[in-house]
Amino acid sequence: MNKQQTPLRSGFEAATTATEALAGRDLSGMQAIVTGGASGLGLETVRVLAGAGAKVLVPARDPHQAQAALDGMTGVEVAALDLLDPQSIDAFAATFLATGRALHVLVNGAGIMATPLRRDARGYEGQFATNHLGHFQLTARLWPALRQAQGARVVCVSSLGHRQAGVDLDDPHFLRQPYDKWRAYAQSKSANALFAVELDRRGAAHGVRAFSLHPGAILTPLVRHLDLDDLRRVGALDDEGQVNPPPQSGFKNVEQGAATAVWCATSAQLEGLGGVYCEDCDIATLVADDSTGPGVRRWAADPAQARRLWALSEQMTGVRFDCEAA
């Protein structure tokens, strides 16, 4: 297990906002890409990074809709990208690489949650394909720009949902078992964390560090596929059955929810560290798989499992990183 998976006592907390997590840092001269940056937590992440001087590129399936959401933000661009379409990923990355710009921050934040069964053109289950494989391929294609930055960070947005299941390496696409939307989501979020573990192992020697995180429970467009039973399950309903989380539910607002991603992307407290899972603007505690509290489960922080997932991801995507760990 990663010995760095120990809280830093950063001084931040669950109520810390993204602006507070940035701690006044000037990001002028930095280039960021934020997937999922046109809504919810991603939109707030873009707002804070751009407000601190970074140039931010936001990939989106619907660039016109994304542009409308981002209208008025200085230093923010939009481009087309569909994480379920390998050709779209390659085209987006090729266009960015052609600019010759270094990439200092890549926030892999786009995702879908608890959706009905959907398969991409390869037959891959949609949540695993979007949340993990799409970002795996995107990061690989952007690798030259990340290396060029000589100090880049890749931030993978996981979830407390990872607590429900690890990655089923034998049947990740539910070809031999009944589809379970929550288990599919959970394994995709465990995959996000494991991807950061292995990417950091391979990338550290090239100046690329990787982090994963749980942003907190927040009501964003990510919940669009949830019915009332689902919302009740996650504690989002009040006593009258309305979508209005009670104060004791622990839900965050968007400004608080974006804080840990911004902290992972920019904080000097993380210099020299990587491959760790974070929550509430600090490194999370590694806990037993049957734990019911916060922290990262061992199946989402296991270096051996991370290497196996990496090999499977290369096989599934046909994409290899131009990097090897020392």
Task: Give the residue numbers annotated as catalytic, written as ranges.
Answer: 185
Going by their DSSP bridges, the two strands 55-60 and 286-287 should be labelled as unpaired
Report the largest interatomic distance among the alpha carbons of the chain, rounded to a whole angstrom.
57
- 79/64 Cα distance (integer angstroms): 9
Identify the three-state secondary structure at position 283. Answer: strand
- Burial (0-12, 13-18, 19+ Cβ within 10 Å), 207: middle
- Other C-beta atoms within 10 Å of 321: how many? 18
- 146/140 Cα distance (integer angstroms): 10
- 146/233 Cα distance (integer angstroms): 39
Amino acid at 126: G
**Tokens 């009740």 found at:** 232
